[in-house]
Amino acid sequence: MKSVSFYVIISCIILGMIFDVMGAGQRGRRGRGRGRNQNINNQLDQSTSRIQGLNAELDNLSQRIADLLNAHDNTINIIINNIQNTYNVQFTQAENQPPPNDGNGND
């Protein structure tokens, strides 16, 4: 009887080693790893979606700023035209020249 239980124990140990080498003992850890990777992938997907949303919002804001600047330019042109027509004067385009010397060395 002792020899049978000894062989059963030895057989179980050998089978355990074989299954461990084959990777059967890694299933649980591999499963948790996949779950963690899936969680990371989900977080990356959420971050990507947020970034895409922020990019769309930034594009929208950029377009609104461009529209406001265009409207601002149009308003200035209307004001200039009104002044020219009302007072019969003509404004000329200023040339790009450096600012005058202010005398305090901050040229």
Q: Tell me whether residue 16 is in a domain.
A: yes
98 CB-near residues (< 8 Å, 6+ apart): 107
How far apart are the C-alpha atoms of 45 and 41, rounded to whole Å? 6
Q: Tell me how many helices (H) and strands (E) the chain has.
A: 2, 0
Q: Tell me whether residue 87 is in a domain.
A: no
Q: Tell me whether residue 29 is in a domain.
A: yes
Domain containing residue 29: 10-66
Q: Tell me whether residue 54 is in a domain.
A: yes
Q: Tell me whether residue 53 is in a domain.
A: yes
Entry pTM = 0.47
| pLDDT tens, residue order, the chain (107 aa) | 556 677 777 777 777 777 666 555 555 555 455 677 888 888 999 999 999 999 999 999 999 999 999 999 999 999 989 998 998 888 777 777 666 676 666 65
Total structural domains within the chain: 1
Altogether, the residues listed in the chain come to a count of: 107
